């Protein structure tokens, strides 16, 4: 059984082990694979594992030995799952592994925007506190979360975990989701989007990227938000119209944004959000705690074992 990991570095930069996967067959792990290298490296493999390396219909046509594709993530849009199904290739993903880590990152951004710990620590180290005529100073408004309203768009596992953290901070929580089951499980009041944008002090995105949700944050929605409100996005970059958000921030239409995802990653140097006012960007790391990555690797390997045992799990392209 030939196994090829096309881009293992993001999942395992060296602090985890591939040993359990290597025990299942002849295993080759590449840190990164360029599109021009994919077919050559994947040739002859029965099992492919990919994180962000695209496996298109055209590529799959050139890989007659492939029987299984394991996506080292929850999102699986990098694989043409219809083309894979047509070729009887099983495609499986890894759901739920990063729920707590992503919810934690939401509040890392929220707390940064409300307390600016890093900024104040930097200025203290630079000597501003030493030179201060007062025993304390602050360069930004300091904001207490208790009593503020968090609006959550998307009440799946991560949205609900975020809601629980918000409640623990004493926040009022409102949410929007089209899925009745998600609404039933959520510990918050369901509202329509117009009310959510107009009344929330923090809006956080946890919905999938679809035709309906692309640019759900646009100029019209930003205009409705409170000028003191913050936007958090740890979900998918294209949920946000980047130029509209940059304009809103630079014109003080909203107070700040915390983003872990952008439309293109890595972003080009001219991305308008890189220089936008009160915009804090992290490089798509909400999922990447060691604990979450260990769960991801363990589940990906269990998926492979299940496939080899004849009972595939977490399949996303059943025919």
0.85 exceeded by the pTM? yes
Among this protein's residues, is 284 annotated catalytic?
yes
Choosing from 120, 236, 253, 295, which is the catalytic residue? 236
Going along the chain from its start, the domains and CATH numbers come out as: 2-97+290-308 (3.40.50.720), 99-281 (3.40.50.720)
Which pLDDT score, from 0 to 100, does residue 305 have? 98
Q: List the beta strands (DSSP E) in the chain.
A: 2-5, 26-29, 47-50, 68-71, 90-92, 149-153, 172-176, 189-190, 202-205, 230-233, 256-259, 279-281
Which pLDDT score, from 0 to 100, does residue 185 have? 78
- Rounded distance, CA 151 to CA 163, Å? 9
Which pLDDT score, from 0 to 100, does residue 319 have? 66
Which are the contacts of 164, defined by CB distance < 8 A and separation ≥ 6? 103, 187
Among this protein's residues, is 126 annotated catalytic?
no
Reduced to 3 states (helix: H, G, I; strand: E, B; else coil), residue 111 is helix
* Tens-digit pLDDT string for the chain (319 aa): 999 999 999 999 999 999 999 999 999 999 999 999 999 999 999 999 999 999 999 999 999 999 999 999 998 999 999 999 999 999 999 999 999 999 999 999 999 999 999 999 999 999 999 999 999 999 999 999 999 999 999 999 999 999 999 999 999 999 999 887 777 777 789 999 999 999 999 999 999 999 999 999 999 999 999 999 999 999 999 999 999 999 999 999 999 999 999 999 999 999 999 999 999 999 999 999 999 999 999 999 999 999 999 999 999 997 6
Neighbours of 266 (CB within 10 A): 9
Paired tokens of 186: 């959520």
Among this protein's residues, is 265 annotated catalytic?
yes
Note whether 136 and 313 are within 8 A (CB). no
Choosing from 87, 195, 284, 302, which is the catalytic residue? 284
Choosing from 126, 220, 223, 265, which is the catalytic residue? 265
- Rounded distance, CA 211 to CA 213, Å? 6
- Rounded distance, CA 245 to CA 231, Å? 9
Q: In what order do the strands lie in the sheet with 90-92?
A: 26-29, 2-5, 47-50, 68-71, 90-92
| Per-residue buried b or exposed e for 160-186, using 16+ beta carbons within 10 Å of the residue's own CB | bbbbebbeebebbbbbbbeeeebeeeb
């Amino acid at each position: 059984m030939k196994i090829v990991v096309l881009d293992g570095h993001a999942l395992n930069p060296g602090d985890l082990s591939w040993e359990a996967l290597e025990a299942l067959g002849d295993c080759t792990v590449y840190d990164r694979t360029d599109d021009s290298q994919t077919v050559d490296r994947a040739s002859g493999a029965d099992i492919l594992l990919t994180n962000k390396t695209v496996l298109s219909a055209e590529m799959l046509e050139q890989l007659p030995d492939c029987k299984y594709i394991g996506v080292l993530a929850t999102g699986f849009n990098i694989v043409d799952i219809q083309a894979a199904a047509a070729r009887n290739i099983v495609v499986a993903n890894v759901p739920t592994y990063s729920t707590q880590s992503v919810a934690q990152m939401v509040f890392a951004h929220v707390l940064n925007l409300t307390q600016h710990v890093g900024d104040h620590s930097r200025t203290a180290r630079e000597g501003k506190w030493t030179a201060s005529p007062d025993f304390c100073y602050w360069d930004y408004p300091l904001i207490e979360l208790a009593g503020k309203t968090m609006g959550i768009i998307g009440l799946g596992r991560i949205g609900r975990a975020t809601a629980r953290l918000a409640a623990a901070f004493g926040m009022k929580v409102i949410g929007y989701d089209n899925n009745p089951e998600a609404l039933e499980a959520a510990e918050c009041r369901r509202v329509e989007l117009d009310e959510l944008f107009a009344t929330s002090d923090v809006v956080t995105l946890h919905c999938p990227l679809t035709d309906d949700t692309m640019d759900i944050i646009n100029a019209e929605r930003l205009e409705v938000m409170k000028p003191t409100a913050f936007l958090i996005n740890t979900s998918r970059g294209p949920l946000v119209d980047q130029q509209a958000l940059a304009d809103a921030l630079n014109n003080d239409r909203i107070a700040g944004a915390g983003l872990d995802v952008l439309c293109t990653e890595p972003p080009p140097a001219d991305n308008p959000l890189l220089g936008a006012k009160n915009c804090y960007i992290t490089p798509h790391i909400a999922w990447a705690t060691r604990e979450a990555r260990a769960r991801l690797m363990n589940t990906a390997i269990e998926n492979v074992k299940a496939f080899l045992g004849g009972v595939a799990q977490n399949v996303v392209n059943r025919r």
